[in-house]
Structure 1
Amino acid sequence: MTETKELVVDQKKYQYWAITDWLAEHQQDIQQYPYTIRVLLEMALRHNTLKPNEPLDLKPFLNWNDHHDQDVAFKPERVILQDFTGVPALVDLAAMRDKVADLKGDPAVVNPEVPVHLVIDHSVQVDRFGTNSALAFNQKKEFERNQERYQFLKWAQGAFDNLTVIPPDTGIIHQINLELLATVIATKEQAGKTLAFPDTVVGTDSHTTMVNALGVLGWGVGGIEAEASMLGEQSYFPMPKVVGVKLTGALPAGTTATDLALTVTNLLRQHQVVGKFVEFYGAGLANLPIADRATIANMSPEYGATCGFFPIDAQTLAYLKLTNRSQEQMDLIQAYAAANGLLYDGASDDQRLYSETVTLDLNTIQPSVAGPTRPQDLVHLADLPAQFTHYQGQPTLDVKVGTQDFQLKPGAVGIAAITSCTNTSNPAILLTAGLIAKRAVEKGLTVPAYVKTSLAPGSKVVTDYLTATDLQPALDQLGFNLVGYGCTTCIGNSGELQADVQKAVAASDFPMAAVESGNRNFEGRVNPLIKDTYLASPPLVVAYALAGRLDIDLATQPLGYDQQQQPVYLKDLWPSATEVAALQQKALKPERFAKSYTNVLAQNQLWNALSVPTGQQYTWDPNSTYIAAPTFFKDLTQRELTTQHDLTILAKFGDTITTDHISPAGFIGPDTPAGQYLAAKGIAPRDFNSYGSRRGNHHVMVRGTLANIRIQNQLTPDKVGGFTKYWPTDTTTTIYDAAQDYEKTNTPLIILAGKDYGMGSSRDWAAKGVALLGVKAVLAESFERIHRSNLVMMGILPLQFLPGENAASLGLTGQEKLTLTFGAQNKVTVTATKPDQSATTFNATLRFDTPADQRYYQAGGILPLVLKDKLAGA
């Protein structure tokens, strides 16, 4: 099939590639195909037609479930960035322009080829809280800290075509994606015709999957892969396995979409969906509005799937109407989806073929939290007190806050945050939290003074409806004042604990706890002084804040006492579903979304006042500690996959080393290599800001790589943090300092690791920083999908132990030098030579999973590869 079909909607003509017809031509029944595979097939057909000289292999789509060893291409229609990961991506593009100019080319050849939106949402911190002045104070501090970064981003918006920067304090990237940017069905003018096709996206935040709730296929990628997509490169991956999750029933009273999302995360982690597509279907879909679906889709990285997809149906159209999409757009979506087999058909559920299936009865969902250090570890509320029994014998912590004295036990809540994209797109959940707060205030309940409370909504629409329903004043009275619009506590931008608590915990190493309505709770993530973090719905965040502790059974123990000293239980405060629905019906109108997004690019006056340079090339400030020209384009020589000799082991890790452990994130300590570098530049510790805000400066970031305060290198078992053994002198030092010394002697480095190396957020600096440290390979038991890809795209070899083997079983201590010999079919022979010259030989697998991986490696990474392609094309 080489021609498009015509679709007429509201008297307008559209051309489209009919996947139904192509499948019928090849004796395939579309009803047997998952919706995600249909979207991939449409993309392949379209790009085959648009680029007849570069045909894609369509054969894997025939009997697709038999071809998981064959690759398919993915070239998204748009890219979405957040500022933490977006700044380094644009810094790389600016440096690439410099290199093109150095080679006498036209810098303008380096330019996004698809629409790119960058949402500045990761930089606001909770410096002030519990007061109505918190928002303005935090915004002011945000601009003071990030002026250089914001000036760079504003320059980039003017310098690059196809780039839109959404200013700070507008909302969270994923909620803006849902409420404003996603089209579901996109259009493009080409050769005098209007083409229609599914909206697809990749983003530099792993929770880009949230938009799957709208039937938009997309997922998080590293900043490196996003840059390639921006520059017109397509990525490859094996034909995915698709896990069909059949939903039945409806959520019981007293449960929330958060409880469902945490249950799904636990269920699918057990089912082992890492690297697979997950697609939801079944009669239960009709009972899940888009806001609930978004909560589940958001958590895809937590259950390990590439995506958590919901097909287009009536709920999709209802949400688009609510969020003020045009009637013309909704008519197109409905007509296109029906014509091209993308409109959900529950009647064909039994015909659809999935690689694997899982069934979940929504009626079985119970109120839950997850923690204390992993989002997949589900805990029902009645079982939460038992989570703290291992602290028996732990001394209490005496704290004086103002005039009040507290004796804290393990489980005491240091942070209670309504934050993160996971839940703040869900009006029912937030209205429930507001109603609980209002009733608590009416009964005279208060939050203990040692608890740091905050509210950071995903968009200004949330503030609008909480104010319109008169719920915000009650939240304010409990300390849940608005602190900013953006990702805060969930990504480590929680700020310090309440001042007196901060001082006492820092001095005693007391195991303080936190509860947040987020999606990540890895140890040390939300705050370096917080030991145990539990994910919970916003209503439960309010409840645990009122209790001031997590070692409480909310079903049987009171949150506090009213004015008559009568116990107040959570059930006394929890509103009915009918009450919440009525309030939502009254408060949520399309006009609220129209108001929030009118003039969205110019509504921040601090942003508007920034003065910025102009020109195709950026003028780098050599004294800047925020923005620096990276060194990724120094060496453009081609390299081959030949034997590598005598790799020294820089670090040896166990299981579940996350990108939070690897990549610099959060607080910069004054005694760390990064802190010492900034101090040498004349920066006071109070102005260090976070690693995330300095991702555009490789000097800072490489010093923070593998420097997380909780990381445990087995080469230094008695020392926790970013330390290692420098073997030439048998001394313990920081990983950065050891790497610097190894570089002086041109010593190639390797990292050993256990299972799930690189799980967590799609942090590109987890690969970039390791590459700058001089690491040539990582040998692990298994990799998280995004991080494996990022390693390859930075020119680092991802090597995997054979099943059943690991460093311990092979007797590797970390003192060995490893030689890698490469054979056919990605087989690697590893020779590990000990200091006494005895050697162990074993086999491993080179995880080059796609056809492009070897090209990336040979070019020295994807950035040099793209640069060479641009120069050749020019």
Structure 2
Amino acid sequence: MCPEYGATVGYFPIDENTLSYMRQTNRSEKKIHIIREYLKATRQLRDYALQDQDPTYTESVTLDLSTVVTSVSGPKRPHDRVSVSSMFEDFKACLTSPVGFKGFAVPPDALSASGEFQWEDGKSYKLRHGSVVIAAITSCTNTSNPSVMLGAGLLAKNAVEKGLSILPYIKTSLSPGSGVVTYYLKESGVIPYLEQLGFDIVGYGCMTCIGNSGPLEENVVNAIEKNGLVCCGVLSGNRNFEGRIHPNTRANYLASPLLVIAYAIAGRVDIDFETQPLGVDGIGKSVFLRDIWPTRSQIQEVERKHVIPAMFQEVYSKIKLGSEDWQTLEVSDGKLYPWSAASTYIKRPPFFEGMTRQLPKLGSIEGARCLLFLGDSVTTDHISPAGSIARNSPAARYLAERHLTPRDFNSYGSRRGNDAVMARGTFANIRLVNKLASKTGPRTVHMPSQQDMDIFDAAERYRQEGTPLLLIVGKDYGSGSSRDWAAKGPFLLGIKAVIAESYERIHRSNLVGMGVIPLQFLPGQSADSLHLTGREMFNITLPKRDDLRPGQRIQVNADGNVFETTLRFDTEVDITYYKNGGILNYMIRKMLD
């Protein structure tokens, strides 16, 4: 979950509390005994009564725990931390800052903009910059943590008992990561309070965090769009990259489940919880967040009482059965999947079309054009969005041609089994900034015609013309979720190579796995320093098949501007995959041997 800063694994010392949690979650005493003895033998079991237990580390970091404060992250990246105490000032600064990871460039005369609309209860409501319109306790990670989930339930209980509520237009939802969560929320008695605030359980797994919140009401959308408002989503998810959560929430903050409820009650993110109340109680007295926040001991007491092994036994003993709908699915008896030409969800993929037992011919890339010229921190959500399918997009046109109405378009994530939809959805993020295009969004310029086009349409035109494609990008290309379609989609668009300042580790590997060549500017160099415009014609000189080596220098000629790059085939295995046309082709040939 942490590719943004290059983490491969996070290790936390194991102590008796860890083993107690294993017992609480229905692990057997035999298994716990084996684990304890193994940890003792390998000196990994932490005993706080002992001294000098630490191994010898190459580097040690000291953290002053008094500096750790309650925080959220946003408004556009999960690694942009904001302390809750400075949220009010930080959001105000973001409004006026230049467009970027921490800026929206709202003009001074538009800072007080607002939009009024009628709700179905007959009342009028007003939105402004900072208004919360989505509040979701969601994602696979935070919503499997009993402490924060029960804490959210107790916060909801305290809030309801104080007479606090959430504005009706805020789209609230609760999607736990496990059925066990529902079990202990019910047993602890907090479900009615969560539901009273609008946090009904709507399902399990990836929802708002991956862009599956569903549409906002039309009146809300109109108020946002007509007045250019920077409205907000607050969610307990893993990622908040631009365009991921919802097209109408330009600012999105990741927060604990408790803070999701707090900001939903407040109805805005530009609030100082210390000095500004959430609302008033039944007698008109101001209620502050500190008045309803449950203590750690209260949460632990409820957890000890209601999170018990029997719950895990009950839920997970049935996990292989699935729902009634799953059990009644009809399946073919054949060994091969019976592809249906009528299906718009599952389509036979084209990755093996034209494949032979013999390895494909390899050669230099000549006469290539730049499909996209992008900046830093282009994420897998920019490359292959998982959210809703815009009605004016190439994917929407494809589905409409198959007689689907917009209400049935669903999302890119739900249609990941259809390569035709996913190829059309590649780089379809509404917040994509392509330096070749005149405005933000999934557009580019076809060369040499200079015609402004949808990205997919331009790629198709290049394909018809026999023109190979490449991308020019900045630092940390492919950060975010390790989404395989972020490599498959570019491959289907005809992209043969990417030239970047740096790559996120997993995405670089995924590109190699699809036979796309990752090249890296030399240290100190970039597209800007080399005066590239993205409108050049590119020739990339590659060695012969047997001369390929990890990390060698590769020459690029951009209309006479010749420069060297580093070939980011980092291992011999990378080269093997490339020679086969990708990992999928390699595995098929290996199975046939």
Q: Sort the TM-score into its range (normalised by shorter chain).
A: over 0.9
Counterpart amino acid of residue 669 in structure 1: A
Amino acid at match of 2:133: G
SS at match of 1:529: coil
Q: Which residue of 2 aligns with 1:358?
A: 61
**Is the Cα contact below 8 Å between 2:550 and 2:572 reproduced in 1?**
no
Superposed displacement of residue 832, structure 1: 3.1
* 1:393-472 map, 5 Å: 393-394=110-111, 395-401=113-119, 402-472=121-191
What is the distance in 2 between the residues matched to 1:512 and 1:349?
50
Q: Which residue identity is paired with 1:574?
A: W
Residues of 2 paired with 1:495 and 1:358: CA distance? 43
Aligned mates of 2:53, 2:239 — CA distance in 1: 33
Question: Alpha-carbon deviation of 1:698?
Answer: 0.6
Residues 231-280 of structure 1: per-residue CA shift (max 9 Å, x gap):
xxxxxxxxxxxxxxxxxxxxxxxxxxxxxxxxxxxxxxxxxxxxxxxxxx
Distance (whole Å) between structure 1 residues aligned to residue 332 and residue 114 of structure 2: 55
Distance in 2 between residues matched to 1:750 and 1:408, nearest whole Å: 42
Which residue is equivalent to 1:814? 534
User: Aligned letter for 2:498?
Assistant: V
Alpha-carbon distance, 1:350 to partner: 4.6
1:372 aligns with 2:59: no
Matched residue SS, 2:63: strand
Paired amino acid for 1:442: E
| Alpha-carbon shift at residue 611 of structure 1 (Å) | 1.6
Counterpart selection for 1:331 from 30, 33, 36: 33
Tell me the alpha carbon deviations over residues 442-479 of structure 1, each in whole angstroms, 9 at most, x when there is no partner.
11111112211111111122112111121111111111
Rounded to whole Å, the distance in 1 between the matches of 2:320 and 2:89 is: 49
**CA-CA distance at 1:614 after TM superposition:** 2.2
Q: Specify the code of the residue in structure 1 equivalent to 2:35.
A: I
Instruction: Look up the match of 2:447.
Output: 727
**How much does 1:362 deviate?**
3.1
Counterparts of 2:47 and 2:373, CA distance in 1? 50
How big is each residue's C-alpha offset from its partner over 1:104-139, in whole Å with a ceiling of 9 and x where there is no partner? xxxxxxxxxxxxxxxxxxxxxxxxxxxxxxxxxxxx
Shift of 1:509: 3.9
Contact conserved, 1:646 with 1:819, CA < 8 A, in 2? yes
Give matches, 1:82-481, under 5 Å: 207=1, 300-340=2-42, 342-344=44-46, 350-354=54-58, 356-389=59-92, 390=96, 391=106, 392=108, 393-394=110-111, 395-401=113-119, 402-481=121-200
Question: How far, CA to CA, are the matches of 1:491 and 1:603 in structure 2?
Answer: 23
Amino acid at match of 1:319: Y
Distance apart, 1:768 and its partner CA? 0.5
Q: Of Structure 1 and Structure 2, which has the larger fraction of its residues in helix?
A: 1
Residues 550 and 569 in structure 2, CA contact (< 8 A), matched pair in contact too: no
Amino acid at match of 1:799: L
1:542 pairs with one of 258, 261, 265: 261
SS in structure 2 opposite 1:820? strand
The equivalent of 1:272 in structure 2 is none
C-alpha deviation, 1:740, in angstroms: 0.9
The 8 Å contact of residues 399 and 409 in structure 2, kept in 1 or not, is answered as yes
Residue 757 of structure 1 and its aligned partner are, at CA, apart by 0.4
One-letter amino acid of the counterpart of residue 400, structure 1? Q
- Distance in 1 between the 2:55 and 2:188 partners? 45
Equivalent position SS for 1:533: strand
Which residue among 658, 668, 681 is the counterpart of 2:379?
658
SS at match of 1:866: helix
CA-based RMSD of the aligned residues comes to: 1.8
Q: 1:570 to 1:638 in 2, by over 3 A?
A: same
Matches within 5 A, 1:509-524: 509-524=228-243
2:512 is aligned, of 777, 789, 792, to 792
Distance across 1 between alignment mates of 2:346 and 2:322: 26
Count of matched residue pairs? 568
- Specify which of 754, 764, 769 is matched with residue 474 of structure 2: 754
Asked if the contact 2:540/2:557 (under 8 Å) is kept, the reply is: no
What residue in structure 1 maps to residue 208 of structure 2?
489
What is residue 349 of structure 2 aligned with on the other side? 630
**Structure 2 CA distance, aligned partners of 1:302 and 1:579?**
35
Is 1:602 aligned to residue 321 of structure 2?
Answer: yes
Q: CA deviation at 1:642?
A: 3.9
1:571 corresponds to 2:273: no
Matched-pair contact (CA < 8 Å) for 1:830–1:844? yes
Sequence identity percentage: 49
Structure 2 counterpart of 1:589: 308
Contact 2:554–2:567 at 8 Å: present in 1 too?
no
Q: Is the 8 A contact 1:388 1:410 kept in 2?
A: no
Map Cα deviations across residues 663-713 of structure 1 (whole Å, 9 max, x no partner). Answer: 142111121111000100111111111111111111111011111111111
The yes-or-no answer on 1:763 pairing with 2:483 is yes
Q: Tell me if 1:826 matches 2:551.
A: yes
CA shift, 1:363, in A, is 3.5
Q: How many Å separate the matches in 1 of 2:474 and 2:352? A: 32
**1:316 positional shift:** 2.9
Q: Tell me by how many angstroms 1:487 deviates.
A: 1.4
Contact 1:302 1:519 in 2 (8 A): no
1:515-566 Cα shifts (integer Å, max 9, x gaps): 1111111111111111100111111111111110111001110000111111
Deviations 1:601-636 (A, max 9, x none): 224112122222222101100121111111111224
CA distance in 1 between partners of 2:553 and 2:201 (Å): 54
TM-score, normalized by length of structure 1?
0.63
Q: Which residue of 1 aligns with 2:566?
A: 845
Name the aligned partner's letter for residue 60 of structure 2: T
Distance 1:832 1:383 in 2: 49
Partner of 2:493: 773
Pairwise CA distance, 1:421: 2.1
Alignment partners' CA distance in 2, 1:843 and 1:788:
19
Note the residue ranges of structure 2 that are not aligned, 5 or more in a row: 97-105, 544-548
Q: CA deviation at 1:503?
A: 3.7
What is the CA distance between 1:484 and its match in structure 2? 1.0
* Aligned partners of 1:707 and 1:721 also within 8 Å: yes
Secondary structure at the residue paired with 1:415? strand
What aligned pairs does 1:687-726 form with structure 2 within 5 A after superposition? Answer: 687-716=408-437, 718-726=438-446
SS, match of residue 500 in structure 1? helix
- Cα distance between partner residues in 1 of 2:290 and 2:15: 35
- The one-letter amino acid paired with 1:432 is G
Contact between 2:380 and 2:478, CA under 8 Å: does it hold in 1? Answer: yes
Report the Cα offset of residue 789 of structure 1. 0.1
Residue pairs, 1:674-693, within 5 angstroms: 674-693=395-414
Spell out, residue by residue over 1:53-96, the C-alpha distance to the aligned partner (whole angstroms, 9 max, x if none). xxxxxxxxxxxxxxxxxxxxxxxxxxxxxxxxxxxxxxxxxxxx
> Post-superposition shift, 1:661?
0.4
User: Taking structure 2 as the reference length, what is the TM-score of the superposition?
Assistant: 0.92
Q: Distance in 1 between matches of 2:362 and 2:418?
A: 31
Counterpart of 1:700 in structure 2: which amino acid? V
- The runs of 5 or more residues in structure 1 that have no matched partner are 1-206, 208-299
Question: What is the CA–CA distance in structure 2 between the aligned matches of 1:827 and 1:416, rounded to whole Å?
Answer: 49
Cα distance in 1 for residues equivalent to 2:474 and 2:571: 23
2:52 and 2:487 map into 1 onto residues whose CA distance is: 43
Q: Counterpart of 1:857 in 2: which secondary structure?
A: helix
Higher strand share: 1
Task: Tell me if structure 1 keeps the 8 A contact 2:550–2:575.
Answer: no
8 A Cα contact 2:138 2:175, kept in partner: yes
Name whichever of 469-478 and 324-333 sits farther off: 324-333
Match of 2:101 in 1: none
Question: What is the CA distance between 1:349 and its match in structure 2?
Answer: 5.1
CA distance in 2, matches of 1:424, 1:750: 40
AA aligned to 2:291 is D
